[in-house]
Amino acid sequence: MKHCNHIIRFIVVFIFIGIGFFAVRSYLVPDSFGIYGSYSYGFHRGDSDAEQASIPALYQESESCKECHEAVYRTWSNGGHAGVTCEACHGPWQAHNENTLDTVVKDTSVEGCMVCHVTLQARPAGFPQIDDFASHVKEQGEEVQQDMDCTFCHEPHEPK
Ligand code: HEC
Ligand code: HEC
Ligand code: HEC
Ligand code: HEC
């Protein structure tokens, strides 16, 4: 029994480490995590649901534009761009909603259309693609004029 002290000391140190662990843990783990003790939420912090829900939505889908832009909405939904959401071209609704009209994107540039329509090997063969502006215009039997862009011939909401 000569060496009994070593073991007792070891156990005491161990108990203090254990108490320290739970003390630090209770301080660091957020209150709603797992709903403490019962873990009814599993490995999840309950408060994060409310936090996420309170972040204003950046994008709101094309339906949200219908109320105020009825005519454009009707044109668009019957046209060849019906599969492209308003916000894909005009930027997130939230920018508009904050009442800063200059943040609503209205990009009529050739580049703006070519992002989606330039010929790429990776695009499905049936997707409408053009090689470049000048040769496309020539194919239509027209001359490229100054200030001409895609919207000269195509209405963006009903491109055909
Ligand atoms: C609550 C009403 C309302 C909603 C909803 C709304 N808008 Fe507008 N929007 C306006 C008003 C008002 C103007 C400024 C008047 C104008 O220029 O016709 C405007 C202007 C615009 C313009 C610029 C028009 C221009 O000539 O410069 C664009 C583009 C636009 N909105 C797109 C959208 C899109 C896309 C959505 C949906 C994500 C949307 N709007 C939702 C009311 C609204
Ligand atoms: C393919 C891209 C694209 C999509 C999709 C699109 N727009 Fe536009 N929109 C444009 C461009 C480009 C203009 C600028 C046209 C111009 O100035 O000639 C424009 C102009 C507008 C304007 C200004 C008034 C007008 O008629 O020129 C409004 C309002 C508008 N868009 C709302 C919408 C709404 C609402 C939707 C969805 C229902 C939508 N847009 C979908 C590209 C798009
Ligand atoms: C965000 C991507 C995107 C942008 C930007 C875009 N388009 Fe499109 N466009 C599409 C998609 C998707 C289709 C439908 C393809 C299909 O039907 O398979 C389409 C279809 C078309 C068609 C064929 C329409 C039809 O009825 O067959 C034309 C023409 C066209 N776009 C012109 C334009 C012009 C001009 C612009 C610039 C103002 C533009 N697009 C900007 C994605 C885009
Ligand atoms: C001078 C007028 C004119 C201009 C400018 C113009 N287009 Fe066109 N585009 C046409 C005509 C006309 C057609 C229809 C051709 C057909 O059906 O054979 C067409 C067809 C298309 C198609 C469908 C091709 C297909 O294979 O189905 C796309 C996509 C297109 N244009 C995109 C654009 C883009 C993007 C721009 C700007 C970079 C642009 N166009 C500029 C007149 C024009």
pLDDT tens, residue by residue, 122-150: 999 999 999 999 999 999 999 999 899 99
For residue 63, the model assigns a pLDDT of 93
* C-alpha–C-alpha distance, residues 153 and 159, integer Å: 8
Query: Does residue 56 surpass a pLDDT of 90?
Result: no
* pLDDT tens string 21-47: 999 998 998 888 887 667 777 888 888
129 C-alpha vs ligand 4 centroid, how far in Å?
A: 9
Given the CA of residue 89, which atom of ligand 1 is nearest to it? 35
The residue whose C-alpha atom lies closest to atom 37 belonging to ligand 3 is: 113
31 C-alpha vs ligand 2 centroid, how far in Å?
A: 48
For residue 58, the model assigns a pLDDT of 84
Residue to probe by mutation, ligand 4, list 84, 123, 130, most atoms within 8 Å of CB? 130
Select from 111, 65, 118 the least CA-distant residue to 90. 65
Q: Are 158 and 79 in contact (CB under 8 A)?
A: yes
For residue 36, the model assigns a pLDDT of 64
For residue 99, the model assigns a pLDDT of 66
| 104 vs 76, residue with greater confidence | 76
Residues 6+ apart with CB under 8 A from 8: none
Mean pLDDT across the chain: 90
For residue 3, the model assigns a pLDDT of 82
- Report which residue type is found at 137: V
